[in-house]
Amino acid sequence: MDYAAITETFTKLALEAGDLIMEVYASPDFEVKSKSDESPVTEADEKADAHISAGLRAAFPDIALVTEEQAATHGQEVSTFLIVDPLDGTKEFVNRRGEFTVNIALVENGVPTHGVVYAPVLGRLFRTTASGKAEEMDVETKATKPIAVSTPDMGGLKVVASKSHRDQATDDYIAQYQVADFLSAGSSLKFCLVATGEADLYPRLGRTMEWDTAAGDAVLRAAGGHVDAMEGGGALPYGKPGFANPFFVCYAPGVNVKPL
């Protein structure tokens, strides 16, 4: 596998998709439709998906592709594949809160090994490198800097949780910890905040799909963090039938993860 080409292609397509998304975001009005699961979808999701999918299929024709917006890809049984969420955080997009992301990842033998997460409004791009490390790229200058999880302060953790999907069960779980600071963020940015050390813990007690998590998971693992299933423990697996995730928790080493 040519990981340098993976990194370059993922980054290029994510940036280009971000431009397409921002064109729609800047328009005074855009249509919001509902998918079969009642989740929202917009022209921005569809344009970004078409662009990324075409680019990945052209660059890596021999690797299976799974993408949120193409239901025909959801019936595959694969362990090594490309997986895309062209616009994660559509609710953030629709409400013009800015915390939405473009997500592209490579899963190998059930493990997300390489990925890019791009937040176009925030101008932040997080990615794995060809050598398996993690870095943040300045979108304007293309300069990069390595990122790594922090060493948690056991006297009080920095916790991040969903902006659009936080509920009582999540609050009850977080209450088991000594919390020094609480952050709220949308989309896969939560993985990246743990990866950069801006947060120590991110629990998710709600429905997610593998395309929601794979890219952020790859970045966080490369930054030295963990993404574990809450029930049964162990790293969150990928390539599951239907691509639905169990509840999970992301954390920096040193955090004493509590049971559900």
Higher pLDDT, 169 or 248: 248
Higher pLDDT, 240 or 153: 240
Report pLDDT for 260: 79
Q: Based on the domain organization, do 170 and 91 belong to the same domain? A: no
Is 73 annotated as belonging to a binding site?
no
Report pLDDT for 160: 96
Q: What does the block give as tokens for 255? A: 């955090």
Contact in structure between 30 and 44 (CB atoms under 8 Å): yes
Report pLDDT for 153: 87
Is 68 annotated as belonging to a binding site?
yes
Report pLDDT for 235: 94
The Cα–Cα gap between 184 and 33 comes to 26
Contact in structure between 54 and 84 (CB atoms under 8 Å): no
Q: What are phi and psi of 104, to 5 degrees?
A: -135, 130
Q: What is the residue range of 186's domain?
A: 157-251
Residue 210: pLDDT above 90?
Answer: yes
Residue 151 lies in a domain: no
The enclosing H or E element of 226 equals: strand 226-229
In the listed set 113, 146, 179, which residue is the last one of a domain according to the structure? Answer: 146
Q: Are strands 124-128 and 101-108 parallel, antiparallel or unpaired?
A: unpaired
Q: Based on the domain organization, do 180 and 114 belong to the same domain? A: no
Residue 111 lies in a domain: yes
Residue 198 pLDDT class (50, 70, 90 cuts) = very high
Is 90 annotated as belonging to a binding site?
yes
Residue ranges of alpha helices (H) inside 60-150 are 90-94
Residue found under tokens 């592209």: 104
Mean local confidence (pLDDT), 98-122? 96
Report pLDDT for 37: 62
Q: Based on the domain organization, do 137 and 197 belong to the same domain? A: no
Q: What does the block give as tokens for 176? A: 């088991």
Report pLDDT for 229: 96
The Cα–Cα gap between 171 and 26 comes to 34
Count of alpha carbons within 13 Å of 194, Cβ hemisphere only?
29
Which pLDDT tens digit goes with each residue over 31-58?
776 666 656 678 899 999 999 999 999 9
The SS3 assignment for 252 reads coil
Q: Based on the domain organization, do 117 and 170 belong to the same domain? A: no
Report pLDDT for 91: 82
Provide the CATH number for the domain around residue 168.
Answer: 3.40.190.80
Which pLDDT tens digit goes with each residue over 130-163?
999 999 999 999 999 999 999 998 789 999 987 6
Is 98 annotated as belonging to a binding site?
no
Q: Based on the domain organization, do 163 and 142 belong to the same domain? A: no
Q: Based on the domain organization, do 99 and 202 belong to the same domain? A: no
Three-state helix/strand/coil letters over 166-208: CCHHHHHHHCCCCEEEEEEECCCHHHHHHHCCCCCEEEECCCC
Residue ranges of alpha helices (H) inside 102-160 are none
Least confident of 38-47, 73-82, 222-231: 38-47
Report pLDDT for 89: 87
Is 89 annotated as belonging to a binding site?
yes
In the listed set 112, 146, 180, which residue is the last one of a domain according to the structure? Answer: 146
Domain count, the chain: 2
Q: Based on the domain organization, do 135 and 162 belong to the same domain? A: no
Report pLDDT for 92: 86
